[in-house]
Structure 1
Amino acid sequence: MTAPVFTRTDPALGEFALRPVDPAADAALLHSWVTHPKAVFWLMQDYDRAAVEKEFARIDADPFHDAFLGLHNGTPAFLMERYDPAHRELVGVHTAEPGDVGMHFLCAPTGTPVHGFTRAVITTVMEMLFADPANRRVVVEPDARNTGVHALNKAVGFEVRRTVSLPSKEAYLSTCTRDQFLATRGDHR
């Protein structure tokens, strides 16, 4: 497997790391996640394993889109996508500024939720994105019906800018600057 490209330690939950998705090797695992009922907003409910592999191979080949498998203490536990909003997802509905980076994330379905885990995942994702000094603002476009992610986004500093119509959904275009993210952590570097 590919080595992690980013690692952080959460004082309460341990190590979180991200490595690039291997479309072929990770397809079965990702299929089980993106077709789960809790992943309905990923719009892959009817995909078979081959379709999931094809989708992540397409992302892997795209110079404006990346996918990462998130590990918690070495075990696959979440998925993150990074994209350039000037070229993907928001073209025509958002004028990307220099330093904008888009993001999606998904926690693996579990029968035994861990308190604070999803917050630790989004914190890891945001820290990875802001570890690149070129990234000045994270842009997301969650489905307007996804109330759980809206609360989580707000908790890490996102502000809803407006509702936008995308081909597959009505979405809340939201942004979070580095300073907004750091302010939610009491970390004003």
Structure 2
Amino acid sequence: MPSADASTDARTDITTAPTAEDSEDSEDTLELRLPAEFVARYTQTGETGESADDLLDRIGDWGPSRTPAGSFHLVPVQVERDLPLIGRWINDPTVATFWELAGTECVTEAHLRSQLDGDGRSVPCLGLLEGTPMSYWEVYRADLDPLARHYPARPHDTGVHLLLGGVADRGRGLGSILLRAVADLVLDNRPSCARVVAEPDLRNTPSVSAFLSAGFRFAAEVDLPVKRAALMVRDRGLRDVL
């Protein structure tokens, strides 16, 4: 799973990021199976072809938010439109260190489609700042993810992974601004969600600091299959004081 803020240090991409190992180890990939009746509830479609319900409350309808850096908008990925850009970001040497998904566009496409063709528990998105794509996000149901095996998950816990795409957007605190914005978007648009969580590598001090600056608190150390992580939590009840 990804960690936190490349924006605070060129060596630390905001990477609470899935890795190549994740796709090989069911402990750290989106391999949990939902009960058939639960899946059926979320796969019924109407005449529009859209889901009757949504595990993440229709991210595409959330709309933009104002941040100190400008208007920010999460837009669900469209592979045909976004693959070249995301592939280029994934293959940046700094990013590749943490996401471990470097390779041809086929590698990137497989990673995206594993979410887009899944049951909706993880949604890959582009982050647009003032209309310009500049970051890649994964918003996911942490309570339905293998991460839930490693901490006391609560229903509707929502996780975030972030990759800042351009070198110019790193190292100037932008990651913290956007993490706060996305956490607020989750809490504003997912009324059943009481907490936003993340699991940066515990050794990635700038990453953990970025989450703290974004209003997350350090909750625990957790041993994941590929790293020892800092469990970071943004609580709905504390959002106005942190």
- With normalisation by structure 2, the TM-score equals 0.68
1:68 aligns to 2:129 (yes or no):
no
- Determine if contact 2:142/2:156 at 8 Å carries over to the other structure: no
Q: Deviations over 1:26-54 (max 9, x none)?
A: 1111111122233222222x332111011
Tell me how many residue pairs correspond in the alignment. 180
Return the offset for 1:109. Answer: 2.5
Task: Kindly report structure 1 stretches of 4+ aligned residues shifted beyond 6 Å.
Answer: none
For the residue of structure 1 that corresponds to 2:124, the secondary structure is strand
- 2: CA distance between counterparts of 1:104 and 1:113? 16
- Determine if contact 2:141/2:156 at 8 Å carries over to the other structure: no
Match of 1:24 in 2: 80
Residue 75 to residue 100, structure 1, CA distance change in 2 (3 Å)? same
1:34 aligns to 2:67 (yes or no):
no
Whichever residue aligns with residue 120 of structure 1, its letter is I
1:149 aligns to 2:207 (yes or no):
yes
Match of 2:105 in 1: 49
Match of 1:129 in 2: 186
Residue 51 to residue 159, structure 1, CA distance change in 2 (3 Å)? same
TM-align CA RMSD? 2.0
The percent of aligned pairs where both chains have the same amino acid is 27
Match of 1:117 in 2: 174
Structure showing greater relative contact order (alpha-carbon pairs closer than 8 Å, 6 or more residues apart) = 2
- Determine if contact 1:8/1:16 at 8 Å carries over to the other structure: yes
- 1: CA distance between counterparts of 2:84 and 2:108? 8
Return the offset for 1:113. Answer: 5.0
Return the offset for 1:84. Answer: 1.3
Whichever residue aligns with residue 15 of structure 1, its letter is S
For the residue of structure 2 that corresponds to 1:129, the secondary structure is helix
Match of 1:105 in 2: 162
Return the offset for 1:143. Answer: 1.4
Match of 1:15 in 2: 71
Match of 1:162 in 2: 220
Structure 2 residue corresponding to 1:172, chosen from 211, 230, 238: 230
Return the offset for 1:4. Answer: 6.5
For the residue of structure 2 that corresponds to 1:173, the secondary structure is strand
- Determine if contact 2:143/2:155 at 8 Å carries over to the other structure: no
Q: Deviations over 1:77-114 (max 9, x none)?
A: 11111111222140321231123111111211223658
Larger Rg computed on CA atoms: 2
- Structure 1: state its 5+ residue gaps: 185-189
- Structure 2: state its 5+ residue gaps: 1-59
- Determine if contact 2:201/2:230 at 8 Å carries over to the other structure: yes
For the residue of structure 2 that corresponds to 1:144, the secondary structure is coil
More divergent stretch after superposition (76-85 vs 105-114): 105-114
Q: Deviations over 1:110-148 (max 9, x none)?
A: 236584422221122112111121111011111122222
Match of 2:43 in 1: none
- Determine if contact 1:4/1:17 at 8 Å carries over to the other structure: no
